[in-house]
């Protein structure tokens, strides 16, 4: 029958995967022109110091606009950028943009930027970061780079050297989405992370006794390790209270603030008096 033929044809042409291929190709084409056509932008989400209530830093999150003005989420375009190598160019653009926004808004001490393992492995990455700092006049102490645990990054000597070079520039190195991969614990042994972001899934599971205990244990482990702790995904006042009770110092989430444009950030946060003198980065020896 025609129906059976249709099914066979579907099996042969596999329209679902053909569509997925189209989407990937469209994104790849878009990424090629993203910087030139100003389709890539950064939005900023506040990070609150739980003890003082102050917004000391913001996280830069990338957005990609399609030609019709609608947004493609990073979960779709970052993997394509990584596969095609565009992430190098795009990543450097993001660091430069975050630096100039930081200076132009004068609202927060530090900005954290998500960095792909592809960037850390690329030769000359730390050198290009150094020249961005020199060009923009931003002190490296005002930047943090977030590395996501889920990524398969085999930590060989080149990556470790790159991280050391970034630390030498004053840049803090944060571990993102802690607990979502299998690598987290071994990464903690290998890399001198300045701060660890506990994945929001642990917070959201903490309404059961078992989930709460697990979160407590993770916090204890990280505290013993000596890293600063941030928890992601604060969506309610109750969750912020829980974070306070657990003694976690930094918090981020929709309840504290949603990602917003640099103009919105400028309007919602008050100017800081002396942006050029942030608190010194805590070294392992001092904590």
Least Å distance, CB 251 to ligand C2E, is 10
Taken in order 47, 50, 53, 56, the sign of the CA dihedral is negative
State the CB neighbour count (10 A cutoff) for residue 101: 22
Q: Which is nearer to ligand C2E, 13 or 254 (CB)?
A: 254
The β-bridge partners of 44 are 60, 260
Largest pairwise CA distance in the chain: 76
Choosing from 48, 139, 148, 206, the residue that interacts with ligand C2E (CB under 6 A) is 148
Shortest distance in whole angstroms from residue 146 CB to ligand C2E: 6
Q: Binding segment for ligand C2E among 48-56, 111-119, 186-194, 265-273 (CB under 6 A)?
A: 111-119
Min dist. Cβ of residue 29 to ligand C2E (A): 19
Contact call for residue 183 and ligand C2E (CB under 6 A): no
Closest contact distance (angstroms) between CB of 144 and ligand C2E is 12
| CA distances from residue 240 to 54, 203, 232, 253 in whole angstroms, order as listed | 14, 10, 10, 9
Is 252 among the residues that bind Mg ion (CB under 5 A)? no
**Contacts of Mg ion in 164-183 (CB under 5 A):** 176-177
Strand 110-114 vs strand 55-65: parallel, antiparallel, or unpaired? parallel
Sign for the CA dihedral angle at 229, 235, 240, 246 comes to negative
**Piece of 129-137, 157-165, 185-193, 227-235 that binds ligand C2E (CB under 6 A):** 227-235
233 lies in the site for ligand C2E, by CB under 6 A: yes
Per the CB < 8 A criterion, the answer to whether 250 and 50 are in contact is yes
User: In the bound complex, what is the minimum distance in angstroms from residue 106's beta carbon to ligand C2E?
Assistant: 22
* Cβ atoms 180, 218 nearer than 8 A: no
β-strand pairing of 55-65 with 40-49: antiparallel
Binding status of residue 259 toward ligand C2E by CB under 6 A: yes
Single out the residue of 176, 188, 228, 229 in contact with ligand C2E (rule: CB under 6 A): 176
Distance of alpha carbon 24 from alpha carbon 30, whole angstroms? 10
Q: How far apart are the first and last CA of the chain?
A: 73
Min separation Cβ 47 and Mg ion, Å = 10
Q: Which of residues 15-34 bind ligand C2E (CB under 6 A)?
A: none
Tokens of 27: 């994104």
Residues found near ligand C2E in the complex (CB under 6 A) = 45, 61-62, 73-75, 78, 94, 114-116, 146, 148, 176-177, 200, 233-235, 253-254, 259
């Amino acid at each position: 029958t025609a129906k059976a033929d249709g099914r066979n044809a579907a099996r042969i042409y596999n329209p679902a995967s053909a569509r997925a291929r189209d989407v990937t190709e469209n994104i790849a084409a878009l990424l090629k022109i993203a910087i030139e056509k100003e389709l890539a932008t950064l939005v900023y989400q506040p990070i609150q110091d739980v003890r003082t209530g102050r917004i000391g830093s913001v996280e830069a999150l990338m957005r990609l606009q399609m030609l019709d003005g609608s947004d493609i989420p990073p979960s779709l375009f970052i993997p394509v950028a990584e596969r095609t190598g565009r992430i190098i160019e795009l990543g450097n653009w993001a660091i430069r943009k975050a630096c100039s926004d930081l200076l132009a808004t004068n609202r927060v001490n530090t900005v954290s930027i998500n960095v792909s393992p592809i960037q850390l492995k690329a030769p000359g990455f730390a050198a290009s970061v150094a020249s961005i700092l020199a060009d923009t006049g931003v002190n490296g102490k005002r930047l943090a780079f977030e590395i996501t645990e889920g990524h398969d990054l085999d930590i060989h000597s080149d990556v470790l050297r790159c991280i050391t070079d970034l630390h030498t520039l004053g840049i803090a190195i944060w571990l993102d989405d802690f607990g979502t991969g299998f690598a987290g614990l071994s990464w903690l042994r290998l890399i001198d992370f300045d701060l660890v972001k506990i994945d929001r899934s642990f917070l959201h599971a903490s309404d059961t006794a078992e989930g709460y205990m697990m979160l407590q244990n993770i916090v204890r482990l990280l505290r013993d390790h000596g890293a600063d702790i941030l928890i992601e995904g604060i969506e309610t006042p109750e969750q912020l209270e829980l974070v306070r009770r657990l003694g976690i110092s930094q918090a981020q989430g929709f309840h504290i603030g949603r990602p917003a444009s640099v103009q919105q950030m400028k309007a919602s946060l008050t100017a800081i008096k002396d942006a050029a003198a942030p608190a010194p980065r805590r070294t392992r020896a001092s904590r």
